[in-house]
Amino acid sequence: MKKLIFLAMLLCADSALGFGFGPDKKAHFGTSVGYGLVAGTTVYHYAEQMGPTERMLTSSGLALVPGLAVEISDEFSKEHHFSWGDLTADALGAVTGAVAAELINGQLWISASGKQIRLVGKW
């Protein structure tokens, strides 16, 4: 049930980004989710002294670096320019991936009952 709710949350996030945005924003979001998952899992396994909030902030920041690098390089290219919208999609994807990494690695879980859905942690 928890995995089903998590997948529904990811689909809602994708739908929200897709509303009024082209495939470029979806690509930025999806790629950053992948970076967030990798960074979150790496930080989870190698930074045991960090708490979950610190891990998610660190992995979100690490996952945002490639998107920021792309936007900076776009500013200096003749074909593209720096886009705050693309960077926002990168940031949302990085945070989504970092939270997903915490969920997958077992530190957080979703508790659903009646009219309430809560994100619960073990710390």
DSSP 122: -
Residue 38: the pLDDT is: 92
Give pLDDT, residue 57.
Answer: 93
Rounded to the nearest integer, the mean pLDDT of the chain is 81
Give me the pLDDT at residue 17, please: 52
Q: What are phi and psi of 76, to 5 degrees?
A: -95, 0
Bridge partners (DSSP) of residue 109 are 120
DSSP symbol at 113: E
Contacts with 111 (C-beta within 8 Å, 6 or more apart), sequence order: 117, 118, 119, 120
Tens of pLDDT, residue by residue over 5-41, are: 665 566 555 555 555 567 888 889 999 999 999 999 8
Beta strand ranges found along the chain (DSSP E): 108-113, 116-121
Higher pLDDT, 58 or 9: 58
